[in-house]
Amino acid sequence: MTRIHVSTTVNGDATEFLCEPDETLLDVLRERLGLTGTKEGCGTGDCGACSVTIDGRLVCSCLVLAAEVAGCEVATIEGMADGDRLHPLQQKFLDHAALQCGICTPGFLVAAKALLDRNPDPTETEVRYWLAGNLCRCTGYDKIVRAVMDAAKEMRRA
Amino acid sequence: MRYEAPRSLKSAVALMAGARGSAHILAGGTDLLVRMRSGYAEPDLIVDIKHIDGMKSVVAEKGGWRIGAAVSGAEIGEHKGLCRAWPGVVEAANLIGSTQIQGRATMTGNLCNASPAADSVPALVAAGATVRIAGPKGRRDVAVEKVPTGPGKTSLKKGEIIASVFLPKRPARSGDAYLRFTPRSEMDIAVVGVGVSLSVNTKGVCTAARVALGAVAPTVLLVEPAARALVGTTLDETALEALAAACSKACRPIDDKRGTVEYRIRVAGVLARRAALIAYERAGGRK
Amino acid sequence: MALDKGFDQPRKFKVVGTRPLRPDGIDKVTGRARFGADMNAPGMLVGRILRSPHAHARIRGIDTSKAEKVPGVKAVVTRKDFPKPRPDLADIMDNVMAGRKALYDGHAVAAVAATSVHAARKALKAIKVDYEVLPHVTDVDEAMKKGAPLLHRGRSDETVPAGFSGNVMHRFEYGHGDVEKGFKQADLVIERHLKTAAAHQGYIEPHACLASVGPDGNAELWVCTQGHYMVRNTCAGLLGIDASRLRVTASEIGGGFGGKTTVFIEPVALMLSRKANKPVKIVMSREEVFRATGPTSSTSMTCKIGMKKDGTITAGLAELRYQGGAYPGSPVQYGAMACFAPYDLKNVKSIGYDVVTNRPKQAAYRAPGAPMGAYAVESVIDELCRKLGLDPLGVRLKNAAREGTRSSYGPTFNQIGLPATLEAAMRHPHWKAKLGKNQGRGVACGFWFNFGGDTCVSMNVTPDGTVTLTEGNPDIGGSRASMTMMAAEELGIPYDQVRTVIADTSSLGQNDVTDGSRVTFAVGLATIKAAREAIKICCERAAKVWGIDPDAVVWEDGHAKPAGPNAGKFPPMSLKEIAAIATNTGGPIAGHHEVNAEGAGVSFATHMVDVEVDPETGAVKVLRYTVFQDAGKAVHPSYVEGQFQGGAVQGIGWALNEEYIYGADGRLQNPGFLDYRIPVCSDLPMIDTVILEIPNPGHPYGVRGVGETSIVPPLAAIANAVSAAAGVRLTELPMSPPKVLKAIGAARA
Amino acid sequence: MVKVAIWGSLRAATGGKGEVEIEATTLRELLDRLAEDYPGVRPQLARGVSVSIDGLVYNDSWFTPIRPDSEVVLLPRIVGG
Closest-CA distance, C135 to chain B, in angstroms, reads 22
Residue D81 has pLDDT above 60, yes or no: no
Left, alpha or beta for C506 (phi > 0: left; psi -120 to 50: alpha)?
alpha
CB contact under 8 A, A62 and B33: yes
CA–CA dist B284, C439 (Å, integer): 32
How many Å separate Cα B257 from the centre of its chain?
23
pLDDT tier at C2, thresholds 50, 70, 90: very low
How many Å separate Cα C319 from the centre of its chain?
24
Report DSSP state, residue D65: B
Helices and strands, number each (H, E), in chain D:
2, 5
CA–CA dist B267, B191 (Å, integer): 9
Q: What is the ipTM of this complex?
A: 0.97
Would strands C348-355 and C313-323 be described as parallel, antiparallel, or unpaired?
parallel
Strand, helix or coil at B92? Answer: helix
Q: Which residue of C has its CA nearest to B258?
A: C675
The CB-side HSE value for C281 (13 A sphere, CA atoms) comes to: 22
Residue C158 has pLDDT above 90, yes or no: no
Q: What is the pLDDT of residue D61?
A: 84
Entry field: residues in chain D: 81
Q: What is the pLDDT of residue B287?
A: 62
Total Cβ atoms within 10 A of residue C662: 24
- Give C32-45 pLDDT, tens digit per residue: 999 999 999 999 99
- Give C399-413 pLDDT, tens digit per residue: 999 999 999 999 999
User: Which region among C203-217, C368-382, D50-64 has the lowest average model confidence (pLDDT)?
Assistant: D50-64
Q: What is the pLDDT of residue C1?
A: 29
Q: What is the pLDDT of residue C516?
A: 82
Residue C545 has pLDDT above 70, yes or no: yes
Q: What is the pLDDT of residue C10?
A: 66
Closest-CA distance, B271 to chain C, in angstroms, reads 9
The CB-side HSE value for C497 (13 A sphere, CA atoms) comes to: 18
B115 touches chain C (CB under 8 A): no
Report DSSP state, residue C694: -
pLDDT tier at C566, thresholds 50, 70, 90: confident
The strands making up B58-61's β-sheet, listed across from edge to edge, are B58-61, B64-68, B161-167, B130-135, B138-143
Q: Which residues pair with A52 in a beta bridge?
A: A59
Q: Which residue of A has its CA nearest to C645?
A: A140
Cα angle for residues C234, C238, C241 (degrees, 5° grid): 90
D81 touches chain C (CB under 8 A): yes
Total Cβ atoms within 10 A of residue C727: 14
Strand, helix or coil at C296? Answer: coil
Average predicted confidence (pLDDT) for chain C:
96
Total Cβ atoms within 10 A of residue C669: 15
For residue D5, the chain C residues in CB contact (below 8 A) are 410
How many Å separate Cα C670 from the centre of its chain?
23
Interface of chain A toward chain B, CB-CB under 8 angstroms? 1-2, 4, 20-22, 24, 43-46, 48, 51, 54, 57-60, 62-65, 67-68, 70, 111, 114-115, 129-134
How many Å from the N-terminal Cα to the C-terminal Cα in chain C?
63
Q: Considering only CA atoms, which of C468, C545, C549 is closest in space to residue C503?
A: C468
Distances (CA, A) of C3 to A111, C49, C698, D2: 47, 45, 6, 21
pLDDT tier at B46, thresholds 50, 70, 90: very high
Measured in degrees and rounded to the nearest 5, phi and psi for residue A11 equal 50, 40
Rounded percentage of chain C residues whose pLDDT exceeds 90: 92
A118 touches chain C (CB under 8 A): no
For residue B263, the chain C residues in CB contact (below 8 A) are 618, 737-738, 741-742
Q: Considering only CA atoms, which of B199, B194, B220, B195 is closest in space to residue B209?
A: B199
User: Which region among C185-194, C196-205, C444-453 has the lowest average model confidence (pLDDT)?
Assistant: C444-453
Rounded percentage of chain A residues whose pLDDT exceeds 90: 98
The strands making up C348-355's β-sheet, listed across from edge to edge, are C168-176, C348-355, C313-323, C298-307, C188-196
Which strand (E) or helix (H) includes residue C175? strand C168-176
B258 touches chain C (CB under 8 A): yes
Distances (CA, A) of C521 to C503, C529, C602: 19, 12, 11
Close Cβ partners of D36 (under 8 Å, ≥ 6 residues apart)? none
Q: Do the Cβ atoms of A19 and A4 come closer than 8 Å?
A: yes
Closest-CA distance, C474 to chain A, in angstroms, reads 10
B281 touches chain C (CB under 8 A): no
CB contact under 8 A, B104 and A129: no
Residue C311 has pLDDT above 90, yes or no: yes
Dihedral Cα C564, C570, C573, C577, nearest 10 deg: -150
Of C617, C677, C741, the CB nearest to B188: C677
Q: At what angle do helices C714-726 and C637-656 cross, to 10 degrees?
A: 50
Q: Do the Cβ atoms of A40 and B92 come closer than 8 Å?
A: no
Secondary structure E strands in A55-150: 57-60, 73-75
CA–CA dist C374, D41 (Å, integer): 29
Close Cβ partners of B175 (under 8 Å, ≥ 6 residues apart)? B87, B88, B197, B198, B278, B279, B280, B281, B282, B283, B284, B285
Residue B256 has pLDDT above 50, yes or no: yes
The burial class, CB within 10 Å (0-12 / 13-18 / 19+), for C565 is: exposed
SS3 sequence of C30-86: HCCCCEHHHCCCCCCEEEEEEECCCCCEEEEEEECHHHHHCCCEEEEECHHHCCCCC
Q: Do the Cβ atoms of D54 and C414 come closer than 8 Å?
A: yes
How many Å separate Cα A133 from the centre of its chain?
12
- Give B77-104 pLDDT, tens digit per residue: 999 999 999 999 999 999 999 999 999 9
Q: Which residue of C has its CA nearest to B185?
A: C683
Q: Which residues pair with C73 in a beta bridge?
A: C114
CA–CA dist B243, B225 (Å, integer): 8
Neighbours of chain C (3+ CB pairs under 8 A): A, B, D
Q: What is the pLDDT of residue C5?
A: 45
User: Which region among B162-166, B185-189, C103-107 has the lowest average model confidence (pLDDT)?
Assistant: B185-189
Q: What is the pLDDT of residue D79?
A: 66
pLDDT tier at D58, thresholds 50, 70, 90: confident
pLDDT tier at C9, thresholds 50, 70, 90: low
Render the burial of C486-519: b for 16+ CB within 10 Å, e for the rest.
Answer: bbbbbbbbebebbebebbbbeebbbbbbbbbbbb
Residue C550 has pLDDT above 80, yes or no: yes
The CB-side HSE value for B145 (13 A sphere, CA atoms) comes to: 17
pLDDT tier at A158, thresholds 50, 70, 90: confident
Of C29, C38, C673, the CB nearest to A93: C29
Q: What is the pLDDT of residue C4?
A: 43
Of C26, C201, C204, the CB nearest to A47: C204
CA atoms C725, C731, C732, C738: torsion sign: negative
Residue C6 has pLDDT above 60, yes or no: no
For residue A60, the chain B residues in CB contact (below 8 A) are 30, 98, 100-101, 104
Close Cβ partners of B40 (under 8 Å, ≥ 6 residues apart)? none
Closest-CA distance, D79 to chain C, in angstroms, reads 7
Residue of C598, C603, C650, C699 to mutate when probing chain D, most D C-beta within 10 A: C598
Secondary structure E strands in chain B: 2-4, 23-26, 45-48, 58-61, 64-68, 130-135, 138-143, 148-150, 153-154, 161-167, 174-181, 192-200, 206-214, 221-222
Q: Is the peptide bond before C10 cis (omega within 30 degrees of 0)?
A: yes
Residue of D11, D25, D47, D59 to mutate when probing chain C, most C C-beta within 10 A: D59
Q: Considering only CA atoms, which of C498, C524, C514 is closest in space to residue C593?
A: C524
CB contact under 8 A, C283 and A40: yes
CA–CA dist B165, B176 (Å, integer): 17
Closest-CA distance, C675 to chain B, in angstroms, reads 7
Q: Do the Cβ atoms of C661 and C669 come closer than 8 Å?
A: yes
Distances (CA, A) of C553 to C14, C465, C549, C590, D18: 22, 19, 7, 18, 53
Its pTM surpasses 0.95: yes
Q: Which residue of C has its CA nearest to A104?
A: C204
Q: Which residue of B has its CA nearest to C619?
A: B183
Helices and strands, number each (H, E), in chain C:
21, 26
Report DSSP state, residue C252: B
Chains A and B touch (3+ CB pairs under 8 A): yes
CB contact under 8 A, C679 and B189: no
CA–CA dist C439, C162 (Å, integer): 47
Total Cβ atoms within 10 A of residue A82: 8
Q: Do the Cβ atoms of B195 and B176 come closer than 8 Å?
A: yes
- Give C276-300 pLDDT, tens digit per residue: 999 999 999 999 999 999 999 999 9
CB contact under 8 A, B257 and C670: yes
A60 touches chain C (CB under 8 A): no
Average predicted confidence (pLDDT) for chain A:
97
Q: Considering only CA atoms, which of C710, C680, C169 is closest in space to residue D81?
A: C710
Residue C3 has pLDDT above 50, yes or no: no
CA–CA dist C92, C204 (Å, integer): 24
For residue D71, the chain C residues in CB contact (below 8 A) are 411-412
- Average pLDDT (A65-77) is 98
Q: Considering only CA atoms, which of B25, B50, B96, B63 is closest in space to residue B166?
A: B63
For residue B103, the chain A residues in CB contact (below 8 A) are 54, 57-59
Q: Considering only CA atoms, which of A78, A64, A71, A56 is closest in space to residue A26?
A: A64
CB contact under 8 A, B37 and A60: no
Would strands C498-502 and C467-471 be described as parallel, antiparallel, or unpaired?
parallel
Strand, helix or coil at A111? Answer: helix
CB contact under 8 A, D76 and C172: yes
